[in-house]
A and B are shown apart, each in its own frame.
Chain A
Amino acid sequence: MTAIAKILEKHQPELLQDWLKEQKSSGIRLDLIRETDLQEQSRRFLSLLQHAVAGAESVENLPQSRLADLKGYLFEVARTRAIQGFSPSEVAMFIFSVKRPLFQRLRNEVKDQDSLFNEMWGATKLLDGLGLITTEAYQKAREEVISRQQEELLELSTPVVKLWEGVLALPMIGTLDSNRTQVVMESLLQRIVETGSEIAIIDITGVPTVDTLTAQYLIKTVTAARLMGADCIISGIRPQIAQTIVHLGVALGDVITKATLADAFIIALQRTGFSIHRKHKQGQNFGMNTGA
């Protein structure tokens, strides 16, 4: 039986107290976590550690099966701490801070220099490994948050709205990459079929930059819509973007482009045979007459 296992069996409550003191003195963010939670997490960690090292010949190179529970718990702890707003090093310090109280007890327990060294080396290796696991778990939790946000952004940013009978609009916001464009393209074409719209206006006011790839995607969408029998108008082209498109040598072909959504809407109304009149002072007509 190793000295660590003995300590964990006999002096666990004292070790827990020392460790909690150590954590507090190293400046744990008590504004982010409740003290009772901290106590519970520390207690649970020590009991799982005890379970893992109990009966082992040496704490160095413990088999994975013994560490599974402990690792699983650490993943959970690191995940909740990542959400609570701890930094990765603060999360890792949770594990590393147990070293001092543990080593002090080891020194009291083991008198022989050689075996003390062996015990400490084994414990260091084990705890370092566990510390790294928390960092890994922390990173994973962060990545999950990022990918979830990306997905949400994807869904949020591609609404297809109906402007008028037979006129759809697609206000695009944000940078266009291949993934997003695919979704945008499919939802637009699907809505064209559902609503039987003849005109679709793609408004790129919210697209910060247009490169060759983005232009390519736009042209593809317009071509696909044309194949289905609907016309596309691209609107919201800012002066900068118009310059970029020409400098890049992108051939927009016979795609109709307009500077503003309003201009595009007027064209769309013309095509569908509607006109707008303003009911203002008698006999006066300020509105745009776009009738056929």
Chain B
Amino acid sequence: MERIPILRMGRYLLVTIQVDMHDRLAMALQDDLTSRIVEWESKGVLIDISSLEVVDSFIGRMLGNIASMSRILDAETVVVGMQPAVAITLVELGMSLTGIRTALNVERGMELLRKSVAAHGFAEIGQEGEQEGGDDGHQA
């Protein structure tokens, strides 16, 4: 059966959805992701949906579920790269995905994950430089 690959980047997981999500695929992703979080002791999940052009209420709910499940397993979820049409559809469906953090692209999403994981007291030893990378360097 077709599966969505889950990539491991240090203590984070990267999921890129590049195919049309149908319901069984979504369920499989939920299963895989929760097992991987436990297996690899991940602290954050980054879901890239920039190629996703069609959503329905089920997919919306699934994203919400993944975020809640990850939180129970002590991992933050960030959804990145949502297309305008998808965002409008979800809003019209009444799903504002309040529990999910969002970012414009993978880079920003990763930054957000690092910050929030650090803020929650999981500061990674030897990575201080990276955590602060987003804060300065923009001074005009």
Measured CB to CB, the residues of A under 8 A from B are 185-186, 189-190, 192-193, 196-198, 220, 223-230, 272-276, 291-292
Q: How far is the CB of B6 from chain A (nearest CB, A)?
A: 21
User: Which of B83, B103, B108, B135 is within 8 Å of A193, CB to CB?
Assistant: B83
Are A275 and B88 in contact, CB atoms less than 8 angstroms apart? no
Asked whether B91 lies within 8 Å of A230 as measured between CB atoms, the reply is: no
Task: Specify which of B80, B90, B137 is in contact with A229 (CB 8 Å cutoff).
Answer: B80
Of the candidates A190, A223, A275, the one whose C-beta lies within 8 Å of that of B140 is A275
Task: Mark out the residues of chain B between 103 and 140 whose CB falls within 8 Å of any chain A CB in the assembled complex.
Answer: 103-105, 108-109, 135-140
Q: Within 8 Å CB of B25, what residues of A?
A: none
Also in contact, A228 and B87, with CB within 8 A (given A274-B140, A276-B140): yes
Q: Is the CB of B135 within 8 A of A228?
A: no
Sample (19) of A-B pairs whose CB atoms are under 8 Å apart: A193-B104, A196-B104, A196-B105, A197-B104, A224-B88, A224-B91, A227-B79, A227-B91, A228-B81, A228-B102, A228-B104, A229-B80, A229-B82, A229-B109, A273-B135, A273-B138, A291-B139, A292-B135, A292-B136
The contact of A185 among B88, B102, B135, by CB within 8 Å, is B88
Q: Are B138 and A274 in contact (CB under 8 A)?
A: yes
Q: How many A-B contacts are there with CB distance less than 8 Å?
A: 72
From residue A87, how far is it (CB to closest CB) to chain B in Å? 45
Asked if B139 and A189 make an inter-chain contact with CB atoms under 8 angstroms apart, the answer reads: no
The reply on B84 being an interface residue by CB < 8 A is yes
Residue ID in chain B nearest A191 by CB atoms: B84
Interface residues of B (CB under 8 A from A): 79-84, 86-88, 90-92, 96-97, 102-105, 108-109, 135-140
Chain A minimum-CB-distance residue to B102: A229
A187 to chain B, nearest CB (A): 9
A122 to chain B, nearest CB (A): 59
For B83, what are the chain A residues with a Cβ–Cβ distance below 8 Å?
A: 193, 228
Residues of A within 8 A of B104 (CB): 192-193, 196-198, 228-230
B84 touches A226 (CB 8 A): no
- B114 to nearest A CB, angstroms? 15
* Among B103, B104, B136: residue with most chain A CB under 10 A: B104
The reply to whether B103 and A229 form a contact with Cβ atoms under 8 Å apart is yes
Find B87's partner among A227, A272, A292 (CB 8 Å cutoff): A227
Residues of A within 8 Å of B140, CB to CB, are 274-276
A residues near B79, Cβ cutoff 8 Å: 227, 229
B87 touches A273 (CB 8 A): no
| Closest residue on chain B to residue A194 by CB atoms | B84
The 5 closest A-B pairs by CB, nearest first: A189-B84, A273-B138, A229-B103, A224-B87, A229-B102
Closest chain-B Cβ to A227's Cβ sits at a distance in Å of 4
Q: A190-B84, A273-B139 are in contact. Are A227 and B90 (CB under 8 A)?
A: yes
Query: Within the complex, what minimum Cβ distance (angstroms) separates B39 from chain A?
Result: 28
Query: Given that A196-B104, A226-B102 are known contacts, is A274 also in contact with B87, CB under 8 Å in the complex?
Result: no
Flag if B138 contacts A189 (CB, 8 Å).
Answer: no
Residues of chain A with a CB closer than 8 A to B109's CB: 229
* Contact A186 B84, beta carbon cutoff 8 Å: yes
Minimal Cβ-Cβ distance residue in A for B137 = A273
Contact of A186 among B88, B92, B105, B137 (CB under 8 A): B88
A217 to chain B minimum Cβ distance, whole angstroms, is 10
Contact among B84, B90, B138 for A272, CB-based, below 8 A:
B138
> In chain B, what residue has the closest Cβ to A273?
B138
* Contacts A198-B108, A230-B104 supplied; 9 other A-B pairs, CB < 8 Å: A185-B88, A192-B104, A193-B104, A223-B91, A224-B91, A226-B102, A227-B79, A227-B90, A228-B84
A228 surroundings in chain B (CB, below 8 A)? 81-84, 87, 102, 104
Set of chain A residues within 8 Å of B135, measured between Cβ atoms:
273, 292
Contacts of A225 in B (CB 8 A): 87
Alpha-carbon distance between A197 and B82 when the two chains are bound, in angstroms: 13
For residue B83, which residue of chain A has the nearest CB? Answer: A193
Give complex CA distance A186, B104 in Å: 16
Minimum CB–CB distance from B49 to chain A (whole Å) comes to: 10
